[in-house]
Each structure stands twice: as C-alpha cells, then as structure tokens.
Structure 1
Amino acid sequence: MTIFNPDNSKRRYLSVSLLAGGVLLGACGPSSVAQTQQEEDEVVDEVGIQAMALTANSCANLKAAGQPMGRTYTLFAGGDTRKPFIAWCDTDGDTYLSLPTGSGRNFSQYLQVEGTSVTTTWSKVRLDPVAMTLDMNDIQFATSTGSIPGWNKYYAAYGEAGDCVAPYSSTGKSNVDLRGLPFAVSAAWKTEGYAAAGGATKSANDQVVNATGGGHCGVTSVNGALTVRYVGFPSCAAVAAAGGTLNQDYTLYLNSDLTKPFTAYCHSSGNTYLSLSTAAGSNFSQYLEVEGTSVTTTWSKVRLDPVAMKLDINDTRFATSTGGIPSWNKYYAAFGEAGDCVAPYSSTGKSNVDLRGTPFVVTAAWATTGYDAVGGYTRSFNDQVVNATGGGHCGVTAVTGDMVVRYP
C-alpha cells in the first residue's frame, strides 16, 4: 500500500509490498529486518496521522500530526464525529472560531476615561477546545478604535462593557454573538466598580449576550472564564455547512433551542430526515384500482423542513413503492394519501402516518375530494398517528396544503 503525507519535506512516500501471507518482501539479513521494522513503524505512524486528521478536536492536534496551518479545518468537539465545527488554525496551532460580523455584533467597549475611549470588534475568537473556553484577551483577529493611554488599555476585552461617564451610568456596551456556530455561552457576567451599574442578558438560546456597564468607573464583564458548551445544530443543512460527516444520525435542536432536541438522519444533500416506524401497518400510503392498476408506498424516513415545520409528502428518497398507475404517470402515493377508483362512494384506499418515536405531532388537516368521493381520517396517540381512508370514482383523502408538524 502507498500512504501519502502532503508535508513530504518531513516524510516520504512509503510503499510496502505484502505477500499473500502478509509477510513483507525484502532481502534477507539483519539490516533488511531492521529496515523493514522501521518502514512498518512509519506506516503505522502515517495511518495514525491520517486518522487524527479525521477526528481532531483542536488545531494543536493537527499541527502535531504534521498538517499545514494557516487554513480552515473541520474539527470535532471531544473527537466525536457527531459534533463537527469549523475552525481557523493559525500558524501556532491555535484554534479560532469565526464570528458573525456587522453592526452591533461581537464588539466590546470602555468609554470616557479622562476623555478617552476604546471600542474593539472581533472577527475571530480563540477557543480552548479542551477547557471549552473563549480567550477574551486574544486580539489577533480583533480591531480596536481609540485607546485609554492613562490605563495602558488599547482594547476592550471580549464581552466587556464599561464607562467612567458618571455615577451609576451604563453607556458602555458589548455583544457576544455565536449564532451560526454550534456553541452557546455558559459563562455569567458581573458588574463591579465605583458607583457601578449595568448588567447582561442572554438570548437566542444562550448564543447571544448583550451587556451594558459603567459608573465612575464601572464595568460589566465575564465572571471568571468565558465558558461555552457544544449545543449542536438546528438542521442538517447547518451540519453540512460546518463540514460534519453526513449520511448518519445527529441530535439536532429545533431553532437551536436546547430544550427541543430531536434525532435526524442527515443526508449528503444536507436535507433533514426523520426516521419512521416500519412496523406492519405504519407509514404507508396507497391509491387503488385505477384501470386495474394500483400503487402502495411505504416510508422509512420523511424529510423535515425544521424552519417551516413541515414534512415533504413527495420526497420519496427513503420510500419504497409497489405497483404503479402508468396512465396517470403516478408511481408513488404521497405520504398520508389514501384513494381509490373502485366504485362510487368506496373508500378502500388507506394510509397511515406514525410519528411515534419522534417528538413531533401532526397539526395538518386532511380533506376528501374527487368524484363520488368518500373517506376521512382519525388522529390518535396525542396527534402523532393519523389513519386515513378514501376513494370513490375516483376519490382521495389527502393532506390539505402542507403537512405541518409541531414540537409540543
């Protein structure tokens, strides 16, 4: 086998030829045995480097493995491939998170100290992926305007808001905004100083912190370390954007709300799918007896739009159909559809929607339409199961509009 390291100034191509029995080819004698052992060790080392690159939790690990720095990598919190995040690795092997920028986002300030002020904006912040803390004083990717020479202060720490305007003033402001990242803030803020006032509020499921502070002089800043926690993503599209390993299950959080977790299968397309029960009589749809042809579809997964909160009743990526209705160019029955063309006012077509095993319930309604149509639907198991019947000459019972769901 041949194993390649892009940093070939440090390592060379290693080619090892193996006999059918697994013995390394080479000349006989002690020197060839030693050489063979060295090559074996180097091969194992190279394999370890490549494996580390696939599961590294820090830029330091990648640098130690010989990977080039000064670029973006996908890393994994705790080395868990289900917990991807994007990081910038600087030349020292430090790990940085790129922050959302724009007016009012990721800035800090200290105002009116003897007529001088400083405001700092942050495009990246350094992460310690072991301690799960952000370095409030690493200004490699921060830009400051103004300064407070009397205090030898040339930047405002990340999350700091202070002033010296007047007793109990709080004109200093700061913002920490981790939206778009799979991290939320665990740290707390405190207000201190002489005649100090201010405070901090968290929002967006602890991904945003806005602080005010001041006094004569006073400041609101992080109490201790700026700790964060991995909270995951709201959708598979976000996982894909972060470079996460796809075609597997993830724990996602609806609207990044930590109180609303759900398990989803993230397809390579970046689409979010809910896995469904495949027990007999669960999650099927059908349209029967159209000129002697019928189609029945069973669903093992259904696509969820976690923003619009609806299921795609026509995404058949994880559906299997038997039969077909060629005259209608119909080769599947939509999720939740039940119809037939058996006879006037018949209703032999059936369907089942069963979301048990997921946290979602169905809020959509069904309607029966068609010629000489009859049918209906019933809900059960706290709206997680819907059974429908429909038919006629021809008639169908199907979802009215979108199949909307909610997280109770």
Structure 2
Amino acid sequence: MTTFNPDNSKRRYLSVSLLAGGLLLGACGPSSVAQTQQKEDEVVDEVGIQAMGLTASSCAHLLAAGQPMGRNYTLYVGGDIKKPFIAWCDTDGDTWLTLQTGGGRNFSQYLQVEGTSVTTTWNRIRLDPVTMTLDMNDIQFATSTGGIPSWNKYYAAYGEAGDCVTWGSSTGKSNVDLSGLPFAVTATWKTTGYEAKGGYTISANGQVVNATGGGSCGVTAVNGALTVRYTGYSACSDVLKGGGTPNQDYTLYLGLNPAKPFTAYCHSSGSTYLTLSNAAGSNFSQYLKVEGASVTTTWSKVRLDPVAEKLDIYDARFATSVGAIPAWNKYYAFFGEAGDCAGWGSSTGRANVDLRGTPFVVTATWATTGYEAKGGYTRSSNDQVVNVTGGGSCGVTAVVGDMMSVRYP
C-alpha cells in the first residue's frame, strides 16, 4: 500500500498540470520495496495524466515538468493522441527509440583502414521529434568493436558502410531496422570516396535499409539528415504496445502501406475491429426453426486479422442476438451464416455481409451443406455486399473455412 504523502502527491499532480501529457509505462516485476514504491508512484502519475487527457511530444517536455527520467514513456508525434510511440527518456531529457538487435540488425561498419576496422551495434537511436530526424552520431546506447586510430574513428555512424580494401570493393555493410516502431525511413544514401562502390536497398514499407560500401577508400552513408516519418501501425495490437488509448478508432495502414489506410476500432484486448454498416437489413445472420427455436444476430463490428486479411466469423463481442437454440447450445448465428430446419427444400434462413464504408471487399466463398439442404449467395456493390440464403432439414449456407477472406483492392 502506498503511504499518502501530501508533498509527493502535490509534486506529481503539479507536474501533470505543467507537462504536455504522456502515459508512463511502468516496470514489470519489482524485486524490492523501492521498486514496488516506484511502480505505485508511476500508476499515480499515469492516472493523473490520463484524467487530464494531456499528451507529450518529447522527453524534454516531461523533464521540464519535473517528471523522472531514465525510463520509458508514451509520447505522441506533434502531441497528436492518435500518433503514439514509446520512447526512452534519458537523464538529459533526450528522446530515444529502442531498436531490435541481433541477426544482422542495426549495425554499421568501416573496414580495413591500414589493417584496422570498427563495427558498431546500435541499441537505441536518438530522435528529434520536432524535425523527425535520427542522430547518426549519438553513441550513448551504441557498442563498438575495434577502432581506426589513424582516423581517430572509434565508431561507425548509424547507417554507414565503408572500407579501404581496393578499387571496386564494397565489403563494408550496415543495417537500419525500425521494425516494431511506427516510423519509416525517408532519407537517401550516397556512395562517395576514391574508387568507391556500394549501394543500398530499402524495404517496401521503408522500415529496413541495408547498405554496402567501400573502395580505396569509399563509403555509403546517409545523404544529409536521417529523416523518418510516422507510419502508424498496421494492427491494434501494435497501437496498444505503442501506448495508444484503447477502445477508440484509429487510422491503421495495411502492411504499413501509406496507400492503404483504414479505420479500425482498437479494443483493449489488442484486437482490430471493423465498424460495420447499421442500415436496416445489413450485417445480420440467422438460424431458424430448430425444434421451435431460432436465433438472429446483428453485427456492429467484426474482428479483422490485418496480416491474413480475414474476418473472424465467430467473434461476437460486438454482436447482438435475439433468440437462441438451447438444444444446440447455439446463442448466436455466425457472421454470414444462414440456415433453417424448416424442411426439405426450405431456405428461409437469411444473412447479409455489408462492408461498404470500409475499403475491403469480400473474397470468401460460401457452401450449402446439411440434410436436404438448399440455399446460395449473391455478391453486389463491387463484392462489398453478400446476401445469403440457406436451410433444409436441417441445412445451412455458410463461409467455407473458419475465417472470411477479404481484400484491400
């Protein structure tokens, strides 16, 4: 239990009133009384900040407001609450992005200069959240092996790849990898030097850059400033990991493709939901006349797997049902399901899938199965609407497979 300390409490909420926001990410698994107290203190800070609905765009803002440094905070690009990212705030109030390492990620090197070489691994990179640039030469959280004493060079700049082997050589390598962060690289690289050779490739989503460089001597390095842009996230799970506020709409980007934005409702579970049309006759499913019982379900949201581009036909978190079929332990009709047990040749069960208002189209197929089954389905509105009928004794028309395939054109 936290002991109430008027001075401490006043300090925290005074800080909150001064700063430009930010949700604090507390440490996990405290191993001492001091750590437990710190975690409880962080919760107080977080509650106060959330209650006031404030946001911070840099660690400098938090430092100026008296917030403790040397920990992770959730910041927001330009103070926009829909653009969250996690940053490590050092004791000087600088803003750092934590990088993935190992497996050839986030390293730079300059090789074979009079028999000496240097390779640098980057654990964090400093971000200027105003200019949206990364500092290629701040090595506070970088580790180097080797050195080039004749050049007084004891680290390779972030993204730098060079060597002094010979004409046409390009054995120097580097990697910039922003995977897991809501940022993409917008900078370019340039190969310069004597008898220089090299180049670079950048991934489709702009988050990974691999460079080679060398010569006699030559280097491939960032041409000017290492600029980045906010890409956002491709799934709600990433939004929440990045400190986004749950249970509200966000603009996501399918595969981090800036040409494929879509609006999603991010539930506190981290699941990604599409909000559906609530027009009469839209987005309902039903199974009728099973031993005198029926169920009709209306869907206001449906869960999307943005990687597989599939809808979960069983996730009824945002569905409302009327009736039930206790004999079958069935309390909702699956998304897109239409069935009945009315008798041979019957197909009174109905369903509708309507993705209008979202950028997705339906690519799934339906099948009619069961005893003396009858039914079918039709597509319309450029494959965004599917109407389904089904029934029999008993029979149903439902999506083939466990998920409903969709596509972003």
TM (norm. structure 1) is 0.88
Q: Residues 194-213 of structure 1 correspond to what in structure 2 (within 5 A)?
A: 194-213=194-213
Q: In the superposition, relative to structure 1, how do residues 12 and 263 fare at CA in structure 2: closer, same or farther (>3 Å)? A: closer
The alpha-carbon deviation at position 406 of structure 1 amounts to 1.6
2:134 is the alignment partner of 1:114: no
Corresponding residue SS for 1:55: coil
Choose from 47, 53, 57 the match for 2:17: 47
Q: Residues 373-392 of structure 1 correspond to what in structure 2 (within 5 A)?
A: 373-392=373-392
The alpha-carbon deviation at position 76 of structure 1 amounts to 0.8
For structure 2, the 5+ residue unaligned runs are 23-48
Q: What amino acid sits opposite 2:404 in the alignment?
A: M
In structure 2, how many angstroms separate the alpha carbons of the residues matched to 1:7 and 1:154? 47
The alpha-carbon deviation at position 46 of structure 1 amounts to 5.0
Moved more, 131-140 or 167-176: 167-176
8 Å CA contact 1:5–1:13 kept in 2: the answer is no
The alpha-carbon deviation at position 331 of structure 1 amounts to 1.1
Corresponding residue SS for 2:265: strand
8 Å CA contact 2:57–2:79 kept in 1: the answer is yes
Percent of residue pairs bearing the same amino acid type: 77
Q: What amino acid sits opposite 1:218 in the alignment?
A: G
Partner of 1:399 in structure 2? 399
In structure 1, how many angstroms separate the alpha carbons of the residues matched to 2:101 and 2:394? 57
Corresponding residue SS for 2:8: coil
In structure 2, how many angstroms separate the alpha carbons of the residues matched to 1:235 and 1:317? 18
Q: In the superposition, relative to structure 1, how do residues 102 and 13 fare at CA in structure 2: closer, same or farther (>3 Å)? A: closer
The alpha-carbon deviation at position 343 of structure 1 amounts to 2.1
The alpha-carbon deviation at position 77 of structure 1 amounts to 0.9
Q: Residues 261-276 of structure 1 correspond to what in structure 2 (within 5 A)?
A: 261-276=261-276
Partner of 1:31 in structure 2? none
8 Å CA contact 1:7–1:68 kept in 2: the answer is no
Corresponding residue SS for 2:237: helix
Q: What amino acid sits opposite 1:380 in the alignment?
A: S
In structure 2, how many angstroms separate the alpha carbons of the residues matched to 1:70 and 1:329? 53
Partner of 2:249 in structure 1? 249
Q: In the superposition, relative to structure 1, how do residues 7 and 96 fare at CA in structure 2: closer, same or farther (>3 Å)? A: farther
In structure 2, how many angstroms separate the alpha carbons of the residues matched to 1:73 and 1:116? 40
In structure 2, how many angstroms separate the alpha carbons of the residues matched to 1:101 and 1:242? 19
Partner of 1:313 in structure 2? 313
The alpha-carbon deviation at position 204 of structure 1 amounts to 4.3
Q: Residues 153-302 of structure 1 correspond to what in structure 2 (within 5 A)?
A: 153-302=153-302
Q: What amino acid sits opposite 1:282 in the alignment?
A: S
Over alpha carbons, which structure has the higher Rg?
Answer: 1
In structure 1, how many angstroms separate the alpha carbons of the residues matched to 2:142 and 2:329? 59
Q: What amino acid sits opposite 2:184 in the alignment?
A: A
The alpha-carbon deviation at position 103 of structure 1 amounts to 2.4
The alpha-carbon deviation at position 51 of structure 1 amounts to 4.3
For structure 1, the 5+ residue unaligned runs are 15-42
8 Å CA contact 1:7–1:67 kept in 2: the answer is no
In structure 2, how many angstroms separate the alpha carbons of the residues matched to 1:154 and 1:13? 42
Q: What amino acid sits opposite 1:379 in the alignment?
A: R
8 Å CA contact 2:19–2:56 kept in 1: the answer is no
8 Å CA contact 2:231–2:258 kept in 1: the answer is yes
Q: CA RMSD in A?
A: 1.8
